[in-house]
Amino acid sequence: MQTAMTGFLLLLLIMNGIMISRLSDTKQSGIIKHLRNMAWGVAGIIVPEMIILLTKDRQAAYYAYTFYYIAFAWYIMMIFRFSVNYSGYQLFKIYQSPLFWITVAESAALILGIFSERFFTITHAKWYNHTYWISREFSILYGYAAICGIALVGAVAVLIAAAAQSAKIYRLKYSGIAIILSVMAIACVVSQIHEQPILVLVISFALCEIVIVYMAVYYAPKKLNQRAMQFVADKLNDGIVLYDDEHQLQLVTAGYSDAVGFKRMQGISNEEQYWSKVISEANVGNAWNGRVMAVTRDNNTYYYEIQHMALNEDGKFIGIVYWIRNVTESIENYREMVRRANFDELTGIYNEAHFHEMARKLLEENPDTAFVMTCSSVDKFRVFKELFGQEKYDNYLMRTAESLRTGLVHIPNCVYGRVGEADFYIMMPKKLFHSQELLDAIDEVANVYNTNNFHLIVKAGVYEITDSSQDMLSICNKASMACDTAKGDYGTRLLWFDESIQKESMLRERYNAELSKAIEHGEIQIYLQPQVNKDGKVIGAEALVRWIHREDGLIPPAHFIPFFEMNGRITELDICIWRQACAKLKEWKEKGREDLHISVNISAKDLYALDIYEHYVSLVKEYGINAKNLKLEITESAIINDLKQHVRLVEKLQDAGFEIEMDDFGSAYSSFNMLKDICVDVLKIDMKFLGDTENEARSHAILKSIVDLSKELHMKTVAEGVETEEQLNFLKEVGCDIYQGYYFSKPLSVAEFEAKYL
């Protein structure tokens, strides 16, 4: 029995030596050094035990026991230091540790007591019918045992604390070794209680030491790596699936269910057949490097980026791995990005950039086909938007786009798109274009938004593309020029582009660029058209704008006012006229002619660009004139879109002393319904009202009714556009108060007006 146990101990000693050798070859770290020291400690307790087993001499056995106790104390100290270092705590240098000096003291005491047997004695004892040397400790040695026990329990406690404070993935690293040390502690207690030979304890410690080294150096790091890899893989949005050489599932990440849309993982091994089938049908061989493919599952189409690789070692197949990434969202996002880059977000038809691109492509692919470019746009679209609101305006744009989609779907070689805020462009073969069809389609949409107070007017311009090498922007601009020119002509709905339109458009742009300097240099001047009362006396005038260009001479207002109304610069022009009118009223006042007034126009743009009340009050104060001498003309179309707000504005201006005139009463926009909401001081009646119909008697009756109504409402009437004596006589007969028109005088320069009437 002793021989067999000695042989087993020798085997453990050899294994320990091999372990020491392997640890010496390993990269030196604090943990490796402590493990190597522990391995030497195990060797220190195995050798004395082998001597105890083999010797018959009591003295030799006693000496062996003494060296066993010394080696055991140092081994326990090494276990404690290893545990502290392994748990990541800061270690004192060995000679700074109280446990080190306690172990030194214990070793010295044991060596000094080797001849006196003060600490323990040995005797023979029977164990499983065999005689062994066993030790019997005296009470003085209990302190030694207590210190070793405390050190061992402390090592276990340090490891447990480290496990408790660590992430779940690291707990195996500490808890495994804590369990082994706990087994060693239990072995010590059991051996002490049952007085078993130290052979049992030595074998337990030697085997546990081997397990500790395996756990610390091999098993725990390997498991940690595996769990870390699994953790990382599970956190990926991608799906990773690994099969072995027998197509058995070995690894599947949590992200796989998200990648392929699975909610359950049962039967996932069948997925290998599914992906194998997909890849074999794609005929990509043994590897698939990030190719994207569409897969239909559950009646839905998904897009996957798949990497598929057969794993080989030494030329032998060992498994297969699939890296499956769901890129459906990315592809859909890309498509949405492309859609937003190419299509108008509101209407869903081509935006400007993509329309130009597709139109250019169409021209290049059909070099022998004659094309036309059309541009259609709402006349005074900002008024329409303010009148009906953004939602209804957007609804109009969407209806127009839908009309284009349905109306042009069967026309070959045709593209269309929305450019800017309110312009729609169409390019199609000239032989398929019919002006009336375009106007009918425009009317079909526009009529939905017509009301008693507002008529939606859409104009169109057409350009025949005679030179397809032109820049697409230039082609579109020519269609836009024709459209803008149509907007300036009340009776024209569609115009074909020609050189005169381009010349006129360029001229307007030139005037736009020169406006500020023209105002600065005094080229913008007021002309005055006299206003006459029933007695034929001039009582005032209407201020009209004229541009005396330094190169072109007198420019008619029709050549620039509509353009400035469209681009918003009419306000800049109006302010110039207002100031000139105020300056002239001041001059007349100083000459004692406060009996004369000047009427000035307020455009719709002014109402939104300026604080009209503050502006006029400031002008009157600045020039020191009477507010009643500066009469303010405003059209119904300018105020109808925000009637309540403008009613309050009119009341404030009247309270400040101004007289408010409603201009163009009797025009297409006017209605008697307006008069119940807004109390103006003067109605201006355009005499064109009489000339727009063949039924003159009915027109006369209506005009007389307007004059009578104004008297009932305590308003004066001004008739403008009086050109004949017959018109004047009729107006006097019905009781009109003031007259203005070519019958009396055309608009005159200020100097001419003053020379003639002052």
Six-digit token pair at 15? 């294994």
Average pLDDT over residues 9-34: 67
Q: Which pLDDT score, from 0 to 100, does residue 365 have?
A: 93
**Where do runs of H (alpha helix) occur along 237-327?**
255-260, 269-282
Six-digit token pair at 313? 């070692």
Q: Which pLDDT score, from 0 to 100, does residue 22 have?
A: 67
Query: Does residue 263 surpass a pLDDT of 70?
Result: no
Cα(12)–Cα(18) distance, rounded to whole angstroms?
Answer: 10
Average pLDDT over residues 331-346: 81
Q: Are residues 129 and 33 in the same domain?
A: yes
Instruction: Give the DSSP H/E element, type plus range, for residue 431.
Output: none
Average pLDDT over residues 522-532: 95
Q: Classify residue 100: in a domain, yes or no.
A: yes
Q: Are residues 201 and 249 in the same domain?
A: no
Cα(569)–Cα(176) distance, rounded to whole angstroms?
Answer: 85
651 near 681, Cβ under 8 Å? no
Q: What is the pLDDT of residues 197-244, one digit of tens each?
A: 666 667 777 777 777 776 776 666 666 665 656 665 666 666 777 777
Cα(71)–Cα(75) distance, rounded to whole angstroms?
Answer: 6
Determine how β-strand 597-602 pairs with β-strand 538-549.
Answer: parallel
Q: What is the pLDDT of residues 583-593, one digit of tens each?
A: 999 999 999 99
Confidence of residue 321 (pLDDT cuts 50, 70, 90): confident
Q: Are residues 198 and 123 in the same domain?
A: yes
Q: Classify residue 119: in a domain, yes or no.
A: yes
Looking at 464, 497, 530, the residue that finishes a domain is 497
Q: Are residues 251 and 360 in the same domain?
A: no
Q: What is the pLDDT of residues 144-162, one digit of tens each?
A: 777 877 888 888 888 888 8
Query: Does residue 114 surpass a pLDDT of 90?
Result: no
Query: Does residue 87 surpass a pLDDT of 90?
Result: no
Separation of first and last alpha carbons in the chain: 149
- Extended beta strands in 674-745, E state: 682-686, 716-720, 738-740
Q: What is the CATH number of the domain that holds 90?
A: 1.20.1070
| 190-194, 505-509, 689-693: segment of lowest average pLDDT | 689-693
The 3 state secondary structure assigned to 625-685 is CCHHHEEEEEEHHHHHHHHHHHHHHHHHHHHCCCCEEEEEECCCCCCHHHHHCCCCCEEEE
Which residues, at least 6 apart from 575, have a Cβ–Cβ distance to it below 8 Å?
Answer: 610, 615
Radius of gyration for the alpha carbons in the chain, expressed in angstroms and rounded:
52
Six-digit token pair at 223? 């498991």
Q: Which pLDDT score, from 0 to 100, does residue 64 have?
A: 82
Looking at 462, 497, 532, the residue that finishes a domain is 497
The percent of residues in the chain predicted with pLDDT above 70, rounded, is 79
- Extended beta strands in 193-299, E state: 239-244, 249-252, 287-297
Q: What is the pLDDT of residues 568-583, one digit of tens each?
A: 889 999 999 999 999 9
Q: Classify residue 409: in a domain, yes or no.
A: yes
Query: Does residue 282 surpass a pLDDT of 60?
Result: no
Cα(633)–Cα(682) distance, rounded to whole angstroms?
Answer: 9
Q: Which pLDDT score, from 0 to 100, does residue 51 have?
A: 77
Cα(393)–Cα(386) distance, rounded to whole angstroms?
Answer: 9
Cα(703)–Cα(710) distance, rounded to whole angstroms?
Answer: 11
The better pLDDT of the pair 386, 708 is held by 708
Torsion angle of alpha carbons 314, 315, 320, 324, nearest 10°?
90
Looking at 304, 331, 358, the residue that finishes a domain is 331
The percent of residues in the chain predicted with pLDDT above 90, rounded, is 32
Q: What is the pLDDT of residues 613-654, one digit of tens each?
A: 999 999 999 999 999 999 999 987 677 667 778 889 999 999
Q: Which pLDDT score, from 0 to 100, does residue 383 have?
A: 72
Confidence of residue 284 (pLDDT cuts 50, 70, 90): very low
Q: Classify residue 607: in a domain, yes or no.
A: yes
595 Ramachandran zone, left/alpha/beta (phi>0; psi -120 to 50): alpha
Query: Does residue 696 surpass a pLDDT of 80?
Result: no
Q: Classify residue 285: in a domain, yes or no.
A: yes
Q: Are residues 520 and 666 in the same domain?
A: yes
To the nearest whole number, what is the mean pLDDT of the chain? 80
The better pLDDT of the pair 441, 341 is held by 441
Q: Classify residue 738: in a domain, yes or no.
A: yes
Average pLDDT over residues 416-427: 91
Q: Classify residue 579: in a domain, yes or no.
A: yes
Determine how β-strand 120-127 pairs with β-strand 130-137.
Answer: antiparallel
Q: What is the CATH number of the domain that holds 526?
A: 3.20.20.450
Determine the structural domain holding residue 653 and report its residue range. 515-757
Confidence of residue 30 (pLDDT cuts 50, 70, 90): low
Q: Are residues 323 and 350 in the same domain?
A: no
Q: Are residues 285 and 164 in the same domain?
A: no
Query: Does residue 102 surpass a pLDDT of 70?
Result: yes
Average pLDDT over residues 441-462: 85
Q: Classify residue 703: in a domain, yes or no.
A: yes
598 near 616, Cβ under 8 Å? no
| 175-189, 427-441, 487-501, 688-702: segment of lowest average pLDDT | 688-702
Q: What is the pLDDT of residues 38-82, one digit of tens each?
A: 777 777 777 777 777 777 788 887 888 888 788 888 888 888 877
Q: What is the CATH number of the domain that holds 389?
A: 3.30.70.270
Q: Are residues 222 and 188 in the same domain?
A: yes
Q: Are residues 547 and 489 in the same domain?
A: no
Confidence of residue 29 (pLDDT cuts 50, 70, 90): low
Q: Are residues 489 and 537 in the same domain?
A: no
Cα(255)–Cα(236) distance, rounded to whole angstroms?
Answer: 6
Query: Does residue 267 surpass a pLDDT of 50?
Result: no
Cα(604)–Cα(614) distance, rounded to whole angstroms?
Answer: 17
39 near 20, Cβ under 8 Å? yes
- Considering the entire predicted model, what is its pTM? 0.51
**C-alpha triplet 695, 716, 634: angle, nearest 5°:** 85
Q: Are residues 306 and 400 in the same domain?
A: no
Instruction: Give the DSSP H/E element, type plus range, for residue 432.
Output: none
Residue whose pair of structure tokens reads 């000695």 in the numeric block: 6
Q: Are residues 547 and 466 in the same domain?
A: no
**Total count of domains within the chain:** 4
Six-digit token pair at 552? 């072109």
